[in-house]
Structure 1
Amino acid sequence: MTRIRFKGLLLAGAASAALSGPAFAALDGQDLLAKINAAYAAGSGVLKAESIEINGNDVVLKGTTFTATGPQEKSIALGNLTLQDVTEADGGAYHIDRIEFPEVNVTEDNSSFNVKDLYLAGVRVPGSTTGDDLDAMMMYDEAHSGSVEVKVDGKQIVSVQESSITTGVSEDGSSLSFEGGLTGLTVDLSTLEPKTKEAVEALGIPVIEGDISASGSWEPSSGTIDLEDYTLDFANIGSLSMSFALTGYTMDLVKQLQETARTMQADANSEQAQQAAGIAMFGLMQQMSFQSAQISFEDAGITERGLDYAGKQQGSNGEQMAQMVKGMLPILLAQAKLGALQNQVSEAVNAFIDDPKNITITAEPEKEVPFPMILGAAMGAPESLPTLLGVSVTANE
């Protein structure tokens, strides 16, 4: 009987020792906050807390403020933030299951700004920011915002129903993908000055309503950025879609650009320092190369209404204005020095004006083009750019 009790005590002691080991050690709230700020330093902001409490696996940052550093430093009081289900990972990193932010209410003079239902889910805080891969970055699975309202003199000017962006890392950790957007965007243009208000009413858009969506990926090792889609879809206007692919935007370049930005902010009042930093940033950007790009517009009635309005302003009508635009187009294109592309642009624009459906501009060179080569062509021989970048224009396809 004594042996059984002694064996039970040994097992209990072993379990206690295991539970008190590193994997179950009390969370270090100060270390977590320091690593959040280290990861966010590139964003030119600092998160501060009056005190930190640990409740099991939750870390409560009490009396928090976020200060955006720069020429006009400004702090926003966030109140108490609860970082839910915080766990430590290899290399001193942390994983936070969810961070919910209190409702934001900011009033200044006659304007107010309100945001509800803000949260981050699946936040990963790096143990070190010195690496050259995705492990050195703070990331999240989802960033979400509920309703957003902007009011002026008590009248709602801008509102958003909901916005969200999700990210994911590939299985081998080599690339980051993202997808998201906002829904229910409304912009009231009725408060504009009378002449502008008259124009937007004639165009049939006293209120702009629509959605925005985006998706893409980034591979730090090669620096390939692929913005697969960025679409603004507005009722009674149309849908504008863009995409592009670049290379050379590596983690090293990101850090160099961030450091240059910090230098510019530190010497914000020095014109000489700003010019030097601007030149340095321009030089860094030349490490990148262009792969492809496309911009496409699908009309939802705005072109015809625009021609009608412009025609009335000239004492004519929409059909006459369309013919006038088509007649002036060759002159304008000749001044633009588009070379062989001129005829293609003219045909596409004429087809679109006659029957406004869609028009697309595509740039797809046979091989990627370094930015310095593009800059050189733009300055020395602009007419060579369309051929260099493989530009084409189509309509109603």
Structure 2
Amino acid sequence: MMFSRVSGFAAGLTAAVSLIALQTSPALAFDPTGNEIADAFLTLLDSEEGTVQSYGSVDASGNTVTISDLLITNEDDKDAKVTIVSTVLTGGELQSNGRLKLENLTLENLELAADDGGMSLDNISVSALVLPSAEEAKTNDSPVGPGYESFEATSIQIRDEDGKVADIQKISSSIDSMDGDLPTSGQFAITGATIDVKQIEADEAKSLTDLGYETLSVDVSGSGKWDPDAATINVPALNINAKDAASLTISFSLGGVTRDVVTQLNETSDNPEEAMALLQNITIANAKIRLDDESLTGRILDQEAQKAGVEVPVYVSGLTGGLPMMLGVLQNKELEAKVTEAVTEFLTTPGSLEIAASPAAPVPVAQIMGTAMFAPQMIPQILSVGITANQ
């Protein structure tokens, strides 16, 4: 909901996006504007927790409706409110099923305030947006498939009661292709997320400040493509890059992802047991995790060696010397040797560390789960796991 706690990054984003997906209440708190597109939009914003308290003006020009100075309050919390200087609805169309379709929605200068913090942003722009009907909103039944084509939010500030927690330059996402009501490809990016280390949880902050970080700047991006005819999903790269720390890249390809599986997963999203049962026949064709160091490993080794009262090379030698005994549980001498060699090289000269699963044939998730229960040491073999350093 709009007035949920804004104590962290995810909560702040949820609060922003929730502006376009609120539950409606039977009675409207605002005076109707006389414009059916504006009234339909305001009806969705007017909820039991959030109430459209007032708006400045409603202007229509061609297919564009502009609502100025929106004020949304919470009758249960006098300190909670949302203000939006300008709301622009372009190409609005009320559909026969009661949904509101917009070519574009733009919110400018949004401010969310609450007693435990808040959030502000310069602009949200959403294209090809489909909002639920009032009845669907009441029952929390959103339209089938993605409700937008592209989303972008800029200049976001998230804060708690003690001050600013994070700045984010831009958040963007897009649905690039569809198969009926189901998305088949898309991408997203979070650019320039700068976190104030002192403002996050005490234990986490202490660990980061001990490593020499006062702020942490992070970029996240990813893309994916689903081929419903081949029943495959390919994620070429999910990237998490923390400046002056490290970057993590994950990629994978899955099989057995049919239209029926995707539809049923959407329908069982609130039932983990049913969802897990559906995943049993999905196969893993390949997967890769790569870590590229940008100073984080060296900082950690320096810190731990100092605690142990030894030089870094001596500390690393102690760590790597115990690897063969630790890896004995794998019962795979060849893999033990590869892991020991790669980890030793990475810790001695931090560069990159990559773990790849490249089975000769796709492996069903059911087989992996069964192996994990009864013979976990066999998982690296059935997935043909390999590891390399500094390549």
Q: TM-score, normalised by structure 2?
A: 0.71
Indicate the residue corresponding to 1:205 in structure 2.
Answer: 213
What is the alpha-carbon distance in structure 2 between the residues aligned to residue 205 and residue 64 of structure 1? 43
Q: Pick one of 214, 220, 233 that aligns with 2:241.
A: 233
CA change 1:196–1:181 in 2 (3 A) is: closer
Q: Give, as a single letter, the amino acid of the residue that structure 1 aligns with 2:168.
A: V
What is the alpha-carbon distance in structure 1 between the residues aligned to residue 231 and residue 34 of structure 2? 40
Q: Pick one of 310, 321, 326 that aligns with 1:327.
A: 321
Q: Quick check: which one's helix share is greater?
A: 1
CA change 1:219–1:87 in 2 (3 A) is: farther
In the alignment, is the contact (CA less than 8 A) between 2:346 and 2:353 conserved in 1?
yes
What is the alpha-carbon distance in structure 2 between the residues aligned to residue 345 and residue 226 of structure 1? 27
What is the alpha-carbon distance in structure 1 between the residues aligned to residue 203 and residue 182 of structure 2? 53
C-alpha displacement of 1:257: 2.8
CA change 1:195–1:363 in 2 (3 A) is: closer
In the alignment, is the contact (CA less than 8 A) between 1:237 and 1:299 conserved in 2?
yes
In the alignment, is the contact (CA less than 8 A) between 1:59 and 1:86 conserved in 2?
no
Q: Pick one of 190, 200, 212 that aligns with 2:198.
A: 190
Q: Pick one of 34, 45, 57 that aligns with 1:65.
A: 45
Indicate the residue corresponding to 2:337 in structure 1.
Answer: 343
1:84 aligns with 2:65: no
Alpha-carbon deviations, 1:139-166, whole Å to 9, x = none? Answer: 5331011122121234211110111112
Q: Pick one of 284, 287, 291 that aligns with 2:285.
A: 291
Secondary structure (helix, strand or coil) at the match of 1:343 reads helix
Q: Give, as a single letter, the amino acid of the residue that structure 2 aligns with 1:110.
A: D
Indicate the residue corresponding to 2:113 in structure 1.
Answer: 107
CA change 1:198–1:98 in 2 (3 A) is: closer
1:117 aligns with 2:123: yes
What is the alpha-carbon distance in structure 2 between the residues aligned to residue 86 and residue 176 of structure 1? 26
CA change 1:53–1:100 in 2 (3 A) is: farther
C-alpha displacement of 1:114: 2.3
C-alpha displacement of 1:244: 1.2
CA change 1:163–1:303 in 2 (3 A) is: same
Indicate the residue corresponding to 1:375 in structure 2.
Answer: 369
In the alignment, is the contact (CA less than 8 A) between 1:60 and 1:81 conserved in 2?
no
What is the alpha-carbon distance in structure 1 between the residues aligned to residue 278 and residue 46 of structure 2? 30
Indicate the residue corresponding to 2:262 in structure 1.
Answer: 254
In the alignment, is the contact (CA less than 8 A) between 1:187 and 1:208 conserved in 2?
yes
CA change 1:186–1:281 in 2 (3 A) is: same
Alpha-carbon deviations, 1:158-196, whole Å to 9, x = none? Answer: 110111112312799997322230111111112467775
Q: TM-score, normalised by structure 1?
A: 0.70
What is the alpha-carbon distance in structure 2 between the residues aligned to residue 45 and residue 193 of structure 1? 30
1:144 aligns with 2:152: yes
Q: Give, as a single letter, the amino acid of the residue that structure 1 aligns with 2:315.
A: M
Secondary structure (helix, strand or coil) at the match of 1:122 reads strand
What is the alpha-carbon distance in structure 2 between the residues aligned to residue 147 and residue 385 of structure 1? 45
Cα-Cα RMSD: 3.9
Q: Pick one of 148, 171, 185 that aligns with 1:177.
A: 185
C-alpha displacement of 1:82: 4.9
What is the alpha-carbon distance in structure 2 between the residues aligned to residue 186 and residue 374 of structure 1? 38
Q: Give, as a single letter, the amino acid of the residue that structure 2 aligns with 1:322.
A: V
Secondary structure (helix, strand or coil) at the match of 1:366 reads coil
Indicate the residue corresponding to 1:157 in structure 2.
Answer: 165
Secondary structure (helix, strand or coil) at the match of 2:239 reads strand
CA change 1:95–1:110 in 2 (3 A) is: closer
Alpha-carbon deviations, 1:70-109, whole Å to 9, x = none? Answer: xxxxx99798965411469999998632012355433333
Structure whose CA Rg is larger:
1
C-alpha displacement of 1:354: 1.3
Q: Give, as a single letter, the amino acid of the residue that structure 1 aligns with 2:291.
A: F
What is the alpha-carbon distance in structure 1 between the residues aligned to residue 344 and residue 165 of structure 2? 37
CA change 1:307–1:301 in 2 (3 A) is: same
Which ranges of structure 2 fall in alignment gaps of 5 or more residues? 1-19, 50-79, 134-142
Q: Give, as a single letter, the amino acid of the residue that structure 1 aligns with 2:41.
A: L
